[in-house]
Amino acid sequence: MIKLIEVILIFDPADRGRGNLKKINKWLDKRAGHPFGPNAGKVAGGNMLQSKIYIGAFEGLDWKKFADYIGRLDWSKPSKVQLLVNFDGVFAGVSPEKMTGKGKGIS
């Protein structure tokens, strides 16, 4: 049975025009079979989210390679890039330092 990996990616609006989401979606499409879906936009309260939030469920995704790829992209505010991965029903954050391979495991 192939394991389903659920991930949430959050980044600062300042990074919208950098093309990173397009690169990430191309990476995911090639390795996981499909890209992230569209951002939800408005949320409860009728307000727009200030952060860009993308959610996906991918069969057999190697989350460590995915985190490493995200960490190597050119971000204007890398400290505001957050990756959450669902480990057996609990989402855990992967810090930017750990995304680039400088750290070990998850935070």
pLDDT number for residue 51: 76
Give the residue, 18 or 48, on which the prediction is more confident: 18
Whether 57 is in a domain gets the answer yes
Whether 89 is in a domain gets the answer no
Whether 77 is in a domain gets the answer yes
pLDDT number for residue 80: 86
Number of domains in the chain: 1
Q: Which of 101, 60, 50, 70 is nearest to 8 (CA)?
A: 70
The span from the CA of 96 to the CA of 86, in Å, is 17
What does the pLDDT average to over 32-47? 74
Whether 105 is in a domain gets the answer no
Whether 87 is in a domain gets the answer no
Grade residue 103 by pLDDT with cuts at 50, 70 and 90.
very low
pLDDT, one tens digit per residue, over 40-98 is: 566 667 777 777 789 999 998 998 999 999 989 998 888 889 999 998 889 998 865 55
pLDDT number for residue 17: 78
Whether 25 is in a domain gets the answer yes
The span from the CA of 96 to the CA of 36, in Å, is 20
Q: Domain containing 18: what range? A: 4-82+94-99
